[in-house]
Amino acid sequence: MTAAPASPASDRARPLVPRRYRQDPRWSERVAAPLRLVAGPGAKPSPRDVVRLQEGLWRRDEPGAALVEAIRRERSVTMRQVSEALADAGRGGTDAEAPERTPEPLRDFLRVLDPRPAWVDDDLLDRGARACRRFGVDGLRVLGVGSLLGGYRTAAALEPLVRTGRLGGPDADRRIAETSAWWLAVTAPGGLAPGAEGWRLSVHVRVMHAMVNDQLERADDWDWELRGTPINQYDQASTLGVFSTSFLLHARLMGHRVSRRDGDAVMHLWSYVGWLMGVEEEWLPRTERIGRRLLYRFLAGDPPPDQNTLDLARALIDSFDTPERGPLAAQWERERVLSNATGLLGPGAMRDLGLPVRPPWFTLWRTAVNVPLTHGLGRVPGTGGLLLRRGNASIRRELARLGQDASAV
């Protein structure tokens, strides 16, 4: 195994494997077991795979780190220049056209994004985006409950969120809205074309991740021996799996039909998103089978929940309350979310999250609605457009109910 990389925050010797990796093997294996059942042959990592997983806890997004170095210490790049450069990508601009306006470190970062990988297929991106939008408002529900809340079950990647004040406390509802806006931009028609909103937001998130990582790497109290690099390749790839692999599994639990072609198109879409955000190619979930295998390996090495888990889960559930609409509406919304969380994540996850278990009546109701619609009508040739329009309409209604801008849907 290669030695752990040096950190600008500390020159102390560190263990080759952070203590968080398989901190409680019985817990992690139990949580990952359902994924192993659907991952097929080859899910168990080989000794070489284990080494790569362990090394991934030390590796960061180096192009992003170099850009942040230029922003924060060299002072040769400003965030305004970064924003302008990302916007220029959508207008056909290139760094070569205006070298005097684009500092060399920023041009280096942009060269990482262009040209895009040869494996990216525009037809598959469009198909994957349409498949996500056909889930309609259920897609947003899976995003909030299955992806975000489910991701809090393990303490793996939570410390940076808590340390930077993200997705906790009074800002939780705003952060959830931002995540939904990013998802809608990524799944919009042409949303991942260079300079389009989904492309731009994904690259912007990459830069923000690099800035947070830089901040925590230089914190005197960051526990390297326990956690490894603050925002590392292992956690970034695992989070990508929550938004892709786990997302599709939970959509099926809500009764949505996902064909193999649609499923692989969704995975292709998120693989490109992951590439834009700096996830290494070896951990991009190109197909559902690959995605399930990867997510199983990540979960099987993750640590159990901690206080961060409980705090973030509580903040997320509280963000769904709607007190301005009255106590009954707020109670209804809370019970609906808890019911759906129990249905999608299971009672064991709810206990890990420190949340009350509820009968999964909401998930069962949505399944009863979606099965005849998507497994029946959805198999009739020519109905894909109808289901897509229906899905977008339900998203617009939900955003309007939440007081959010629905004009772009």
| pTM of this structure | 0.93
Tokens of 107: 């041009």
In 194-225, which positions are buried (b, 16+ CB within 10 angstroms) versus exposed (e)? Answer: bbbbbbbbbbbbbbbbbbbbbbbbeeeebebe
In 291-303, which positions are buried (b, 16+ CB within 10 angstroms) versus exposed (e)? Answer: bbbbbbbbbbbbb
SS3 breakdown of the chain: % helix, strand, coil, rounded to 5?
65, 0, 35
Annotated domain spans of the chain: 122-401
- Read off the pLDDT band of 68 (50, 70, 90): very high
Q: Is the pLDDT of residue 84 over 60?
A: yes
Q: Is the pLDDT of residue 38 over 80?
A: yes
CA separation for the pair 343, 250 (Å, rounded): 9
In 38-62, which positions are buried (b, 16+ CB within 10 angstroms) versus exposed (e)? Answer: ebeeebebeeeebebbbbbbbbbbe
CA separation for the pair 311, 64 (Å, rounded): 29
Task: Provide φ and ψ at 101, rounded to 5°.
Answer: -95, -15
Say which range, 93-97, 160-164, 215-219, has the weakest mean pLDDT: 93-97
Task: Provide φ and ψ at 156, rounded to 5°.
Answer: -50, -55
The average pLDDT across 142-148 equals: 93
- Read off the pLDDT band of 100 (50, 70, 90): low
Q: Which residues pair with 10 in a beta bridge?
A: 7
CA separation for the pair 109, 89 (Å, rounded): 13
Kindly give the interhelix angle for 25-39 and 288-299, rounded to the nearest 10 degrees: 170
Most distant CA pair in the chain, distance: 63
Task: Tell me the pLDDT tens digit for each residue of 223-232.
Answer: 999 999 999 9
pLDDT of residue 3: 40
Task: Provide φ and ψ at 210, rounded to 5°.
Answer: -65, -35
Tokens of 360: 């999964």
Q: What is the percent of the chain where pLDDT is above 70?
A: 91
- Read off the pLDDT band of 96 (50, 70, 90): very low
User: Hey, is 385 helix, strand or coil?
Assistant: helix
Q: How many residues does the structure list for the chain?
A: 409
Distances (CA, A) of 231 to 21, 70, 97, 340: 15, 19, 34, 30
Q: Is the pLDDT of residue 1 over 60?
A: no
The average pLDDT across 311-315 equals: 93
pLDDT of residue 94: 47
Q: Is the pLDDT of residue 15 over 70?
A: no
Q: What is the DSSP string of 108-143?
A: HHHHHHSSPPTT--HHHHHHHHHHHHHTTHHHHHII
| 39, 296 Cβ separation under 8 angstroms | yes
CA separation for the pair 186, 70 (Å, rounded): 28
Tokens of 248: 């599709």
